[in-house]
């Protein structure tokens, strides 16, 4: 038995002994490396390991939670006491409790999801990767002035979950991402470009591609101006639509629907998107950055269709929201860290791709805007009310071709209208993981209000 | 938290392979987080987070690690590992030894009247229940109320290779009330989230009821909102929450790291006119118990007020130690970090526009068609270009000098340096608000402040015409 397994068992036993009806321990440990470069020098090199434990107890239907980074005996005893004492002040809820299902050995000891070779990548190679991104961007075009931030980071994490219902499981996972943000200038005009990629290991990413894309974006936007307010078709770059789906995704949580804080509440079984739109969450997608054998409370992950040909056919459940709806958990219990009890979150969420290439999606548009960056998502997208209005930058589309660059424009609609007015879906499904792994192809949506001067 | 002897020998160990500067930031953080939804306290969480971050700087390069244990041997081990990682990259400069540490005296202290540690759990839970109850009495249209209460006691010790030894205790308390209102087919939300660098005296002035009522009233008001207009128009920004606009659109560009890289629109603009002459602005961590206040910043620099813009002229940037060293300036108590797991960066504390001489009632005068933004929902800025975007969570149409119906879905979009020049009226009613500011993957508490003021022209994006 490892040291962490002993800690987890001690906590669960102690919790039961001190009077908890149910107890669950979630331990996450890991190691992270971050490299930032600026002007061909290492600006920052960080390497550190971390480990913490959270305990969830239920007593008389009431939830108590406590966490700590200190895992010595005395600290563990205090942790159990704190969780139990905390439970005395939350309110009883008959849907609260641990999941009933106990998984088979093969689902819980599945162990390493780490990409082959993850551990063999040296610090020097990581620094080289970041340096290459920066160099590529700087040399891509005369107009490129500098790379403001160039970063590579990767992390490995070990999740251990144990509960008093007999669940015991652990796995090791790893992920990395890299980005660069570029400034380009010409005649007093300065524009920025940004490119980001995520993967399971550095070997899956191409520094040349990231550097070139960021530079190209900044250069392409030089000379951008605003546009007159108009209602028009907007073509979203995959990465941009990933960000929008990220803001929209809380609405797919069954708990949000049950509590009336989802714009999809009351629409189960109804048409909520254009007939050719399907949205899927797949917790077992091979190679997906959100793939795990079990969720953050020990339920087996699965594939769940949320929107099937435009109809809202499913929602994301954890054990709590599932009990409330007399449904089964979809294995979407999730926690940001050991510091919080599980909520609900997608695993690998994506729009099913169509058959049209990006070029053809644009070629189909006689007048519109191709959006390559959006700003203000956290204030401008409201998954409760469905409000959608954000700032954007990109290119005007005229007669199926990219015309001039635009900046300082706003795009406004509602989330229901966005989903219903999707006219074309591209074939270029692209995943990006920023906490949640989300995938989208190029998407064209008609009837969006574009604001400007 | 960290023994003087351990600190000294760790710093020596870090610098043994060279380097210009090293520091250790040790931290103990106790938090309580309670959340209520559907009328019930759903979770009650308490936590302890401890550790130390160790950093060494050589020329423009920073090498960093942290340990989650404050035991002597853990800190010593991290110091040795950091020296090894560092050795691979940069040749040794001259050898340094830390002779002695000198304890710094805090320039200001923020007195905590009711420490979170002294308030029992039941009383904390009651605060959420009271807020929930009050929000639901505001209107039958209130359909959901989410309340969360957070308190933090953060003890820090900071030592560095120049012999600095500073200690600080930061106490933060914040209540967050989020209300969903539904009428017919329309759903709207409203929230309030006041907080102080202090304890439960937060609720002395305005109980949880008052805070909840404001959130509920905002959601109810917005139920009758019409689509916001789009186009360029004058915008009046109400005092208080609109301060976040200056924070985002200008404040980030005045942080010295962006300027150092040439990635700020304000690079090279010192002593130049960058704003209308009626505009003065400052950053102030000394303001008693304000959300972004402290006694020392996270590098041990004593808190001090820093005037950024005076009568339209740019006076100072906001520096941490590294950017100050790089730009040959003095650190300005803006070196802040989310926790021991992160490196310090130049960050705002409480940033505000100073009060002006205009009357609030004159703000709307002469506006044929414009927007009155009462509450902004946060936004985003590109410091390199100054381009920003803001969502308006509570806004009203201005027509012929009169404030008219509420509008929904308004977004303000513009350019920081340009709006600084376009401010044409500033009232005397300075008010502050609280927020969490994100930068470089780190989040820190930041206060924002602003009197009511008018911007001659700004692009508003909405779905209406």
How does pLDDT run across B262-277, given as a tens digit for each residue?
989 899 999 999 999 9
The Cβ of residue A413 has, within 10 Å, a number of other Cβ atoms equal to 24
Q: Using the predicted structure, report yes or no on whether residue B178 has a pLDDT greater than 60.
A: yes
Question: Within an 8 Å CB–CB cutoff, is residue B391 touching chain A?
Answer: yes
Exposed / middle / buried, residue A128 (Cβ in 10 Å: 0-12, 13-18, 19+): middle
Three-class secondary structure of residue A166 per DSSP:
coil
Q: Which of A440, A442, A439 is nearest to A289 (CA)?
A: A439
pLDDT at A313: 97
**Contacts of residue A51 in chain B, CB cutoff 8 Å?**
68
Rounded average pLDDT over B92-121: 86
> Which of B66, B228, B413 is opposite residue A48, by nearest beta carbon?
B66
Q: Using the predicted structure, report yes or no on whether residue A317 has a pLDDT greater than 90.
A: yes
**Axis-axis angle for helices B72-87, B4-15 (nearest 10):** 10
pLDDT at A452: 80
pLDDT at B86: 72
Decide: A159 and A173 in contact? Cβ < 8 Å: yes
Q: Which of B96, B128, B118 is nearest to B17 (CA)?
A: B96
pLDDT at B361: 87
Rounded average pLDDT over A310-315: 98
Q: Using the predicted structure, report yes or no on whether residue A106 has a pLDDT greater than 70.
A: no
Q: What percentage of residues in chain A have a pLDDT greater than 70?
A: 98
Q: Using the predicted structure, report yes or no on whether residue B94 has a pLDDT greater than 70.
A: no
* Residue A66 to chain B, least CA–CA distance (Å): 5
* Residue A190 to chain B, least CA–CA distance (Å): 6
pLDDT at A100: 86
Q: Using the predicted structure, report yes or no on whether residue A24 has a pLDDT greater than 90.
A: yes
User: Would you list the DSSP string of B164-182?
Assistant: EEEEEEEEEEEEEEEEEEE
Decide: B336 and B53 in contact? Cβ < 8 Å: no
Q: Using the predicted structure, report yes or no on whether residue B373 has a pLDDT greater than 80.
A: yes
Q: Using the predicted structure, report yes or no on whether residue B89 has a pLDDT greater than 70.
A: no
Q: Which residues are CB-neighbours of B332 under 8 A, at least 6 positions away?
A: B283, B301, B304, B306, B316, B317, B318, B319, B324
Q: Which residues are CB-neighbours of B288 under 8 A, at least 6 positions away?
A: B108, B110, B111
Q: Which ipTM was obtained for this model?
A: 0.92
pLDDT at B192: 93
Rounded average pLDDT over A5-29: 96
Q: Using the predicted structure, report yes or no on whether residue B383 has a pLDDT greater than 80.
A: no
Q: Using the predicted structure, report yes or no on whether residue A20 has a pLDDT greater than 80.
A: yes
Angle at B436 between CA A437 and CA A344, to 5 degrees: 35
| pLDDT confidence bin for A397, thresholds 50/70/90 | very high
Q: Using the predicted structure, report yes or no on whether residue A145 has a pLDDT greater than 90.
A: yes
Q: Using the predicted structure, report yes or no on whether residue A376 has a pLDDT greater than 90.
A: no
How does pLDDT run across A238-293, given as a tens digit for each residue?
999 999 999 999 999 999 999 999 999 999 999 999 999 999 999 999 999 999 99
Q: What percentage of residues in chain B have a pLDDT greater than 90?
A: 80
Question: Within an 8 Å CB–CB cutoff, is residue B107 touching chain A?
Answer: no
Question: Within an 8 Å CB–CB cutoff, is residue A434 touching chain B?
Answer: no
pLDDT at B91: 55
A 176-235 residues with CB < 8 A to B: 181, 183, 190-192, 226, 229
Rounded average pLDDT over A207-226: 95
Higher-pLDDT residue of A342 and B185 is: A342
- For chain A, what is the radius of gyration of the CA atoms? 24
pTM assigned to the model: 0.94
Three-class secondary structure of residue A411 per DSSP:
strand
**Contacts of residue A410 in chain B, CB cutoff 8 Å?**
230, 389, 411, 413, 459-462
| pLDDT confidence bin for A453, thresholds 50/70/90 | confident
Three-class secondary structure of residue A434 per DSSP:
strand
- Average pLDDT score, chain B: 93
| pLDDT confidence bin for B419, thresholds 50/70/90 | very high
How does pLDDT run across B39-79, given as a tens digit for each residue?
999 999 999 999 999 999 998 999 999 999 999 999 999 99
The Cβ of residue A198 has, within 10 Å, a number of other Cβ atoms equal to 18
Mutation target to probe the A interface, by most A beta carbons within 10 A, among B463, B464, B465 is B463
B 404-443 residues with CB < 8 A to A: 408-411, 413-415, 440
Provide, for chain A, the percentages of residues in helix, strand and coil under a 3-state DSSP scheme, each rounded to the nearest 5: 25, 40, 35
Angle at B198 between CA B195 and CA B202, to 5 degrees: 50
Q: Using the predicted structure, report yes or no on whether residue B174 has a pLDDT greater than 60.
A: yes
CA-to-CA dists, residue B352 to A345, B171, B306, B307, B443, angstroms: 37, 22, 11, 10, 19
How does pLDDT run across B325-349, given as a tens digit for each residue?
999 999 999 999 999 999 999 999 9
Q: Which residues are CB-neighbours of B184 under 8 A, at least 6 positions away?
A: none
**Contacts of residue A391 in chain B, CB cutoff 8 Å?**
380, 387-389, 411, 413, 461
């Amino acid at each position: 038995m490892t040291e962490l397994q002993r800690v987890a068992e001690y906590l669960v036993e102690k919790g039961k002994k001190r009077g908890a009806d149910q107890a669950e321990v979630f331990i996450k440990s890991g190691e992270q490396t971050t490299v930032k470069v600026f002007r061909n020098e290492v600006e920052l090199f960080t390497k550190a390991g971390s480990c913490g434990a959270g305990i969830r107890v239920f007593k008389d239907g009431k939830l108590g939670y406590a966490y700590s980074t200190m895992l010595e005996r005395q600290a563990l005893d205090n942790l159990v006491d704190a969780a139990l004492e905390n439970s005395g002040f939350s309110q009883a809820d008959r849907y609260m409790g641990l999941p009933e299902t106990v998984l088979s050995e093969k689902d819980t000891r599945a162990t390493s999801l780490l990409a082959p070779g993850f551990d063999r990548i040296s610090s020097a190679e990581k620094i080289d990767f970041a340096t290459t991104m920066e160099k590529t961007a700087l040399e891509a075009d005369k107009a490129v002035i500098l790379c403001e931030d160039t970063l590579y980071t990767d992390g490995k994490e070990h999740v251990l979950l144990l509960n008093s219902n007999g669940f015991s499981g652990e796995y090791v996972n790893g992920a990395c991402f890299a980005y660069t943000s570029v400034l380009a200038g010409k005649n007093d005009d300065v524009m920025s470009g940004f490119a980001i990629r995520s993967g399971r290991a550095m070997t899956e990413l191409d520094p040349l591609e990231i550097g070139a894309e960021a530079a190209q974006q900044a250069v392409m936007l030089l000379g951008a101006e605003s546009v007159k307010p108009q209602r028009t078709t907007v073509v979203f770059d995959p990465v941009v639509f990933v960000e929008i789906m990220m803001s929209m995704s809380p609405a797919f949580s069954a708990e949000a629907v049950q509590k009336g804080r989802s714009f999809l509440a009351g629409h189960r079984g109804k048409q909520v998107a254009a007939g050719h739109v399907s949205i899927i969450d797949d917790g077992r997608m091979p190679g997906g950055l959100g793939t795990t054998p079990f969720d953050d409370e020990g339920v087996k992950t699965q594939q769940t269709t949320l929107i099937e040909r435009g109809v809202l056919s499913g929602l994301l459940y954890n054990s709590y929201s599932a009990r409330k709806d007399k449904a089964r958990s979809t294995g979407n219990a999730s926690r940001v860290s050991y510091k919080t009890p599980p909520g609900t979150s997608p695993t690998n969420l994506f729009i099913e791709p169509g058959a049209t290439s990006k070029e053809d999606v644009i070629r189909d548009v006689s007048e519109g805007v191709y959006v390559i960056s959006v700003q203000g998502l956290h204030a401008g997208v409201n998954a409760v009310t469905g409000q959608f209005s954000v700032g954007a930058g990109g290119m005007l589309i005229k007669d199926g071709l990219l015309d001039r660059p635009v900046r300082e424009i706003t795009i406004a609609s509602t989330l229901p209208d966005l989903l219903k007015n999707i006219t074309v879906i591209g074939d270029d499904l692209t995943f990006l993981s920023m906490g949640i792994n989300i995938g989208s192809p190029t998407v064209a949506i008609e009837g969006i209000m574009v604001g400007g001067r | 938290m960290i023994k003087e002897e351990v600190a000294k020998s760790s710093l020596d160990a870090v610098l043994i392979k060279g380097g210009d500067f090293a520091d250790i930031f040790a931290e103990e953080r106790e938090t309580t987080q309670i959340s209520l939804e559907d009328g019930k306290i759903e979770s009650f969480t308490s936590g302890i987070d401890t550790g130390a971050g160790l950093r060494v700087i050589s020329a423009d390069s920073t090498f960093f690690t942290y340990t989650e244990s404050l035991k002597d041997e853990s800190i010593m081990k991290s110091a040795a590992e950091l020296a090894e990682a560092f050795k691979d990259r940069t040749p040794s400069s001259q050898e340094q030894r830390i002779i002695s540490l000198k304890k710094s005296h805090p320039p200001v202290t923020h007195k905590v009247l009711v420490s979170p540690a002294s308030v029992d759990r039941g009383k904390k839970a009651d605060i959420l229940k009271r807020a929930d109850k009050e929000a639901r009495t505001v209107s039958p249209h209130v359909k959901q109320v989410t309340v969360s209460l957070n308190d933090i006691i953060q003890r820090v010790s900071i030592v560095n290779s120049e012999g600095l030894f500073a200690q600080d205790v930061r106490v933060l308390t914040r209540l967050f009330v989020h209300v969903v209102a539904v009428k017919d087919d329309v759903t709207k939300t409203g929230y309030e989230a006041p907080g102080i660098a202090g304890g439960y005296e937060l609720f002395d002035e305005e109980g949880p009821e008052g805070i909840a009522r404001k959130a509920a009233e905002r959601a109810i008001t917005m139920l009758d909102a019409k689509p916001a207009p789009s186009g360029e128009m004058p915008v009046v920004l109400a005092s208080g929450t609109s301060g976040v606009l200056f924070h985002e659109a200008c404040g980030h560009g005045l942080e010295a790291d962006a300027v150092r890289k040439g990635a700020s629109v304000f690079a090279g603009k010192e002593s130049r006119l960058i704003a209308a002459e009626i505009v003065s602005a400052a950053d102030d961590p000394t303001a008693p118990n304000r959300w972004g206040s402290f006694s020392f910043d996270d590098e041990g620099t004593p808190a001090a007020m820093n005037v950024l813009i005076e009568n339209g002229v740019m006076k100072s940037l906001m520096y941490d130690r590294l950017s100050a060293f790089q730009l040959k300036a003095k650190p300005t108590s803006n070196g802040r970090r989310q926790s021991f797991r992160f490196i310090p960066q130049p960050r705002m504390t409480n940033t505000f526009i100073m009060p002006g001489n205009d009357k609030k009632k004159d703000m709307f005068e002469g506006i044929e068609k414009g927007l009155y933004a009462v509450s902004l929902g946060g936004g985003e800025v590109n410091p390199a270009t100054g381009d920003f975007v803001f969502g308006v969570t509570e806004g009203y149409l201005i027509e012929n000098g009169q404030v008219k119906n509420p509008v929904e879905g308004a977004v303000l979009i513009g350019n920081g340096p340009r709006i600084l020049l376009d401010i044409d009226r500033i009232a005397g009613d300075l008010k502050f608000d609280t927020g969490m500011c994100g930068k470089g993957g780190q989040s820190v508490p930041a206060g924002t402040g602003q009197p009511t003021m008018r911007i001659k022209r700004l692009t508003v994006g909405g779905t209406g015409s």
